Amino acid sequence: MKNIILYLLAATLLFSCKSEEEKPNIIVLLVDDAGYADFGFAGCEDLKTPNIDKLAADGVVFSDAHVSATVCGPSRAGLITGRYQQRFGFECNPNGHEGIDLNEKTIGDAMKSAGYATAAFGKWHLGGEEGYQPNDRGFDYFWGFHSGGRSYFPDPQIDKPGHSHSIRENKTHATFEGYLTDALGEKCVNFIDSNKESPFFIYWAPNAVHTPMHATEEDLALFEGHPRQQLAAMTWALDRAVGKITDKLKEENIYDNTLIFFLSDNGGAHNNQSSNLPLKGFKGNKFEGGHRVAFFATYPEAFGSGHFDGLSSSLDIFATSINAAGIPNFNPEKPSDGVNLIPYLKGEKTGDPHAQLFWRKDQMAAARVGDNKLIRVEKLGYRMYNLEENLAEDHDLQNEDPEGFEALKTALESWENDKMQALWSEGHLWDTITWMIHEDYYNNTFPKVRNPGELKRFRMQQSSK
């Protein structure tokens, strides 16, 4: 009897160890304001991204993947909870320290519940007050800053205790030397080194390539004469950091058992030299350039390489991660709005993971149902496009297809029925600018106003007429 008990105990321990070994490490590489067309794997020819492209070549590249918002804060809120951020009022960029509702669970909470070591690096932008910080939201370790964009070099005006843009290690003020993107890569490598014996989850969110357009002199010199010199140098540094992370995984022989997602938090911005071609629009608006992003997933042990054309969302990262980690029923009272992508990437399922996707911020909203898309703007009305036939979004179909138009309107209104109104807005200034951008794009003209400076000049011109 004693021998049987010892045997069962040994078998249990062996099975437990094996289960831990089989759990994949999971890394989310979330870059900031990168253009849809600004990586080699997405067809870019003038920016160099060899490490990112190599990582993409080992995985599946998505052609119709979207984030849940067209600006940083709400997009991150959707990704990190796996739920439409309108479910908890985080619809707009925070003006100060506003954060994710404390009743919501994050992907950090989920991974931690499954025994993962969890870390967040870089830009948080999901709450800076006590209780809302990364270490309060499921992350064992944090190295980064709480909000907004910041200098890529040490800055005495920012890097002081208490500043929302200063660097923190967990909840303690920290400093760095050199170039921030490089520092974030090194910190991530160090975390992998310290946690390589157990499964880990990493949310790596550098501020690259968000403004300000800062690059090292050495990287700028590599692209002297380049028409997008600053972005090229910043992207080169980003690629270098990603390369260091993937090299560490391979060095430790854990690369094949690591699920890696790569994407931008929204479309490229108008002020960082990025390109979203052939898409219309950019960060902040409801055209494809605002929310369709360069996206791939790599997991060598589970699926091979290729391309996937199904309608997908950053919301799917949460659902895919918890399924890969063996916790598909996490937080059942508030289930994810995402879909587990693994069966699609293995070829076990085909078609679109999502039949519908929705977006809303302030006065603007959009719906995607199949190939059809609807944009709604207060006081401007609607535009309807078929993206399969008109990816440029310049041919309005609402009068040509009234039944399809009504179906899209009904779908959007139905989705809104159980969603909260925004708990804060981005203010009258940015509401006005964003509205004017949509007005011009509705009329298929280039936006005349994209920022406060351009709005001021436009008003001065109008008043002088």
Catalytic (active site) residue 226:
no
Which residues have CB under 8 Å from 116's CB, separation 6+? 23, 26, 198, 199, 200, 201, 325
Handedness of CA 316, 321, 324, 325 (dihedral sign): negative
Handedness of CA 439, 448, 273, 280 (dihedral sign): positive
Catalytic (active site) residue 125:
yes
Angle at which helices 50-57 and 229-251 pack, to 10 degrees? Answer: 50
Q: Considering the candidates 44, 66, 72, 92, report the single residue annotated as catalytic.
A: 72
Distance, CA of 294 to CA of 209 (rounded, Å) = 14
Q: Considering the candidates 44, 66, 92, 125, report the single residue annotated as catalytic.
A: 125
Q: Which residues are catalytic?
A: 72, 125
